[in-house]
Amino acid sequence: MSDDTNEPFPWKIRPFKKADHDRSAFDCGVPSLNDWLKNKMSQWEKKGFSRTLVLVKDGERAVRGYYALSPHTVLHEALTEDQGKGLPMVDVPVVLIGRLAVDQTLQGQAFGRDLLLHALRRIYRLSLAMGVRAVEVDAIDDSAVRFYRAYGFEPLADQPRKLYLPIPVVRTLFESGAKPRSPRRSAVP
């Protein structure tokens, strides 16, 4: 998917730019996710720890959703037997979706799904250029665990809120040409 789509659809997912995006009114209902976006994200970006993409409506500056990606590793011993099968006994290279949140005004309208699929497509493309074994997420609560499990993520061994999705599963999603359905038109073409 191109980040610069020509579709006449009002919602776009773009890399965060302070001059273009206003995060001051963002409220997803989770104080730690709000605080990170408003007060910590810029430092993480400057230090090269993560990259943040934001959901905005065309012609508006207000951030209505976001996700952050970082390189990461998972200890081999943290994998379940199935997850580690056939892998060398070394730390596993992954991309961490460290945060993903949608403003309360848009929750329940599949924007979380759109952000996740956008992140997975970016990670898929990255996996074509370098070694990435899986996608990892740290679910903030049981509701988030259910959300990620619905997309095929599985918990790591003894860590029910750390979830793992192998890149071969991600590749299947995007190479099959299948487009997951949504109750409204997706921001992810």
Strand partners, 94: 72, 134
Short-list 99, 94, 95, 96, CA closest to 39: 99
Quote the pLDDT of residue 188: 45
pLDDT in tens, the chain (189 residues): 335 444 457 899 999 999 899 999 999 999 999 999 999 999 999 999 999 999 999 999 999 999 999 998 877 777 778 887 887 786 888 899 999 999 999 999 999 999 999 999 999 999 999 999 999 999 999 999 999 999 999 998 888 899 999 999 999 988 876 554 443 344 443
Q: How far apart are CA 162 and CA 82, in angstroms?
A: 16
Give residue 161's pLDDT: 93
Active site residue 67: no
- Backbone angle region of 98, left / alpha / beta, with phi > 0 → left and psi within -120 to 50 → alpha: alpha
Q: What is the pLDDT of residue 45?
A: 92
Exposed, middle or buried: residue 137 (CB in 10 Å: 0-12, 13-18, 19+)?
buried
Alpha-carbon span 158 to 129, nearest angstrom: 31
The active-site residue, picked from 66, 124, 148, 164, is 148
**Which tokens hold the place of 24?**
């001051």
**Residues 6+ away with beta carbon under 8 Å from 19:** none
For residue 147, the model assigns a pLDDT of 95
* Residue ranges of domains in the chain, CATH in brackets: 11-175 (3.40.630.30)
What is the rounded CA–CA span in Å between residue 9 and residue 27? 23
pLDDT of the residue at 7? 45
Query: Secondary structure of 60-124 in the HEC alphabet?
Result: CCECCEEEEEEEEEECHHHCCHHHHCCCCCCCEEEEEEEEEEECHHHCCCCHHHHHHHHHHHHHH
